[in-house]
Amino acid sequence: MDTIVTRFPPSPTGYLHLGGARTALFNWLYARKMKGKFILRIEDTDTDRSTQDAVDVIFDALNWLGIDWDEGPYYQTRRFDLYREYIDRLIETGHAYYCTCSPDEIEAMRKHAMATGGKPKYDGRCRNKGLPRTDNAVVRFKTPLTGTTVVHDVIKGGIAFQNAELDDFIILRSNGAPTYNLAVVVDDISMGVNTIIRGDDHVNNTPKQILLFKAFGADLPTFGHVPMVLGSDRAKLSKRHGAMSVTAYRDMGFLPDALLNFLVRLGWSCGDQEFFTRDELIEKFSLENIGCSAGIFNPEKLLALNADHIKATPVSKLAELVLPFLNERGCQAREGVFLEKVVATLQTRSKTLVEMADAALFYFFDEIAYEPEAQKKFLTPEAASSLDMLIAEIQAIGNFTEKALEDAFMKVMKKTGLKLGKIAQPVRVALTGKTVSPGIFEIIEVLGKERALARLQRAKNFIQSSKNGKD
């Protein structure tokens, strides 16, 4: 069996969106599954809209997702000489010809065709003239006038196109730039691409490309056209559905493996399994399990998958991933045991890295602000005495362990007759400023004895000053 060669050919006219990332993922997974080759090709022939910034954004997104390539990146704008060679071959073999019809003539023939019930297409008037190359001429492919061109699609099945319905389409513009269909076929032939997985918005291009492959005497690649990704209302996916650039999801605190997991399930399945590691995806991916129905974008499902991937990620890795988000918030955090302990307390409670970073702030800033409602409800004169007792019990602890902390709380409960919740909530607010947090003992253990005592004393002083202010 020949080595599987796939490719991802983005146009650098904007950011890499979810649909493009899914296309890249499917091609990458198949190449990795089959131990083949994955090629990155930049289709930048639209020079008016293509930018280097967009190229950089594509690289940034693919690198973040961990989608690596074996060859490339190739740039179409650097391959014009090769395209010209292939076009000359088509002219020499009678598969293409020069056309000098003006835009006005083209428009007139289209209008005439529509007026007479025909298809608005080029009527072939230059087809058999044998015109020479001139500055204003385009090159057209000589499409067969009869017969059918069949796309054997591994996802959609066979799709037949009547050749008579196809145009003698342009393959070289008058300015010397190749058209999309010519360039991609030449690229795929010269790069040895034999498997093409792409969105089904390309289905109508495929018969033209098949005719070009055949005219060049090249083997046809395997085609698979993936249904589009739609919003929950089954409309074309857009920003109002939550669809943004891939790097925006990175900045929102999603893990790359979670986004890959989410994207692959937009059109591919493996039984009822929802959660996949990267290695599992490579092991289990197949073209046969790509469905024919559109994938529906569900942001809640993405969030749930991200939470699952956060739970499955080693604490040391999570600490590395959350560090930039913490430092953006002025924490001046650094890798090490303390950060890993912080992350461990929040791992099962966080759906995104942003959420984790926000929830971790109280660990890094001792002058925490008390939430007004939390302060009003729990930092009361009634709580001051239990805080005072707890401070004394914690100060007396020699071996600072979780068991010793539990014993300290038990002693206060016994002295006051209060249940744990009545003591714990004021302590929670004192330590974090909030009513919702990781477990009290976890927090104190991470903060350490001295920092925890300082916060408890600060809360006690706050209660006392508030009481005196009221008096």
Give the active site residues. 239
How many CB atoms are closer than 10 A to CB 118?
A: 12
Q: Give all strands of the β-sheet with 157-162 in edge-to-edge order.
A: 157-162, 148-153, 222-226, 195-199
Residue 314 · residue 342 · CB < 8 Å: no
Is the distance from CB of 40 to CB of 72 less than 8 angstroms?
yes
Cα 213 from Cα 221, distance rounded (Å): 9
Pairing type for strands 222-226 and 229-230 reads: unpaired
Place of tokens 């006392």: 464
Separation of CA 102 from chain center:
44
Assign 15 to helix, strand or coil. Answer: coil
Q: In sequence order, what E strands does 43-156 have?
A: 71-75, 96-99, 138-141, 148-153
Number of Cβ within a 10 Å radius of residue 357: 24
CB < 8 Å & 24+ apart, contacts of 441-444:
441/402, 441/405, 441/406, 442/345, 443/345, 444/394, 444/405
CB 252 within 8 A of CB 306: no
Q: Where does residue 425 fall: left (phi above 0), alpha (psi -120 to 50 degrees), or beta otherwise?
A: alpha
- State both tokens at 308: 């699952």
Q: Any idea of the CA torsion for 179, 185, 186, 192, to the nearest 10 degrees? A: 160
Bridge partners, residue 366, by sequence: none
Cβ proximity of 25 and 243 under 8 Å: no
| Pairwise CA distance, residues 70 & 66, whole Å | 13
Look up tokens 């939470």; give the residue: 307
Strand ranges for 181-338 from DSSP E: 195-199, 222-226, 229-230, 295-296
